[in-house]
Amino acid sequence: MRTHPHAQPTPAPFDDVRPARRGRATGRAVVGEDPLLRAAYALCRRTTRAHDPAIHALVQLMPAVLRPACWALWAAASALDDLADRPGVEPARRAADVESWTKALEHDLAVGASTDPIRHALVDTAARWRLDLSDLRGAMATTREDARGLRFADWAQWRAWCSREVAPWVEQVRHLFDQAGAPMTLRLDRQADYRHFVDGAQLTDTLTDLSTDLAQGHLLLPREAMEPFPGAEEDLIRRRWSPAVAALIAEMTVLGRRWLTRPAMTRGMHPGAAIVLDTAAGLMRLQLDAVDAAGPTLLARPPRPSVAARARVLLPARLRSAVAWSLTPLTVPAVRPAAAVVVKTSGPGPAAEDAGLRPPPPHRDGARPPHIAADKMPEHVAIIMDGNGRWAQQRGLGRQEGHRVGTAAAHEMVYGALEIGLRHLTLYTFSTENWKRDTDEVTTIFQTVQHELDHGPLRDLNVRQRWSGRPDRLPEDLVHALEREEHRTRDRTGLTLTICLDYGGRDEITRTAAALAQAARVGDVDPRLIGPDDFARHLPHPDMPDVDLLWRTGDEQRTSNFLPWHTAYAELYFTPDHWPDVDRRDLWQAITEYGRRQRRHGAALTSSEHQRPSPHTQPDSRH
């Protein structure tokens, strides 16, 4: 429920957009020559200004090269919001429209262009700035659910909704700054300030949009906040101004101001980014003043601060930000040639792209991997990525959504593995037992993997990808894509990523035994002399090293038929978080924990090891 005083129900058809005027930030220097693209960005800018003048003003405080990307992101979020909130349209229909928009975006990202101007600009932004828009899937799924009406019992629920729906979009903007070389790094010791600030921003929005939200059947203030004011909730639902409502609103604006006033938050940040955030806080405090001054009209329309009041905050900020950014050399990606946005008809081509390998994108908070001594570093980490279904169900979403959102966590693990220097990462993606699930769920998992293989962000990292699993039951296209990627990435050296799909440990062992029997039959091995090494040589991937660390998320402590041969001596590590909630820092934590374990492989402890003061100083008994 972002502020949307002049909501446009649907994005304008592409034919209708006006060409961008010369000399604006959508000019050639930033966006390039392509007139369609320039028109698309111009529409995004107008949409941002119409939906939320304050956001538009804040974007103007950013360096000119970043503005088009911000408009594209904001216009896309607003377009989705409008679809979810269209007055007079059935909730189911609105949810379906949000879903089709989201699906269309997936398609557009795959082909690199769109017939819808806002998505066209967004696709261009994603490619230009290397943004991973799959991180937005969870936010889009939440917007779809919003179409059904929102109520929160307490602040925790309200906060969780905000962090699902709004935070991922803000994260994209932060990522944009990172990519441009002006990271909005927040100091760890200021995290609490940051959280309060985000709460303050959300509360300001909630209060501003009270009238429009009530008209849509949403009441976003949590019950916990309304309870101390008996009758206020009922009055709000009936859109009746009463002393209880007035007292509630007064209390909320005080709380909002307290949350927003975080003078220490931006200390140490890049001055340009700090000006943007400080000005945002200033504008939101003005907005809260307008809420206070509105009285009963708060229930009729969103209040607005006066132009003069806004100018008092914005004008000095504009001057200061222009100076701050002029002192910072920004990394600006090359303008994409117009041909790159022409709709492609075939899938991704072969090895030609290998020249363009890129490093993993940095963690969104700028987190860096810990230093791990070489003898404490596992060679092979295998992960049972569990909990997608429960993650989604706990949010009232379909299990499928969990699998879609879980993809972002898989990206994170690969990024984290590359950053910490892991050699082998193996991910359990679909087991031979998972065929017991509904066809819809199985299909979603396969489609998600197929999309990743064809268009995912891991494609141009220094990662050798391969597949382990039964070769005879998966859809033909998927098998083709798995084999194609295995071939295309075969000479890469950074990390070996094995995707276990239709994988079962017993199936692997049975097939290995069959291969060994066949070798014996033709006389290649003598059955009386078969040992573990002969067995290992007949495994589907004989070069896969033993698993050093087996990590399972999702609060289950079992191995579910995963890599029984390779994990015979693995260290086991179980964590409670559901898969979509983890990121690369959790992988680093797992590896750090592994470094503390004492591996003996059946040997006895020596007496000096018994007396060891701390496991950290223990030499690894593997060697």
List residues with catalytic annotation: 386, 434
Which C-beta is closer to ligand IPE: that of 54 or that of 384?
A: 384
CA distance 58 to 48: 11
Amino acid symbol at 578:
H
Which C-beta is closer to ligand IPE: that of 556 or that of 609?
A: 556
The least CB distance from residue 379 to ligand IPE, in Å, is 22
The H or E element spanning position 380 is strand 380-384
CA distance 366 to 187: 10
Q: Which stretch binds ligand IPE (CB under 6 A): 125-133, 199-207, 425-433, 541-549?
A: 425-433
Which C-beta is closer to Mg ion: that of 26 or that of 448?
A: 448
Q: By CB under 6 A, is residue 11 in contact with ligand IPE?
A: no
- The entry of ligand IPE, Mg ion, none that residue 360 binds, CB within 5 to 8 Å by partner kind: none
DSSP letter assigned to residue 500: E
Q: By CB under 6 A, is residue 470 in contact with ligand IPE?
A: no
**Per-residue mark of binding to ligand IPE, 524-563 (x: CB under 6 A):** ------------------------------x-x-x-x---
Q: By CB under 6 A, is residue 504 in contact with ligand IPE?
A: no
Q: By CB under 5 A, is residue 400 in contact with Mg ion?
A: no
CA distance 609 to 159: 48
Q: By CB under 5 A, is residue 391 in contact with Mg ion?
A: no
Q: Which stretch binds Mg ion (CB under 5 A): 45-53, 131-139, 386-394, 428-436?
A: 386-394
The least CB distance from residue 389 to ligand IPE, in Å, is 3
169 in a labelled binding site: no
CB atoms inside a 10 Å sphere around CB 459: 18
Which C-beta is closer to Mg ion: that of 409 or that of 525?
A: 409
CB 441 within 8 A of CB 423: no
113 phi and psi angles, rounded to 5 deg? -160, 165
The H or E element spanning position 96 is helix 91-111
Q: Which stretch binds ligand IPE (CB under 6 A): 314-322, 371-379, 384-392, 563-571?
A: 384-392
Which residue is nearest to ligand IPE, using beta carbons?
A: 389
Q: How many residues of this chain interact with ligand IPE, rule: CB under 6 A?
A: 17
462 in a labelled binding site: no
Measured CA to CA in angstroms, residue 30 lies from 175, 287, 308, 322, 518 at distances of 18, 32, 31, 17, 63
CA distance 274 to 175: 16
CB 388 within 8 A of CB 578: yes
Judged by CB under 6 A, the residue of 253, 431, 465, 496 near ligand IPE is 431
Measured CA to CA in angstroms, residue 420 lies from 271, 345, 415, 424, 592 at distances of 31, 37, 9, 12, 11
DSSP letter assigned to residue 379: S
DSSP letter assigned to residue 9: S
Q: By CB under 6 A, is residue 420 in contact with ligand IPE?
A: no
Give the interface with ligand IPE as residue ranges (CB under 6 A). 384-390, 428-431, 434, 445, 554, 556, 558, 560
Annotated binding site for Mg(2+), which residues? 386, 571
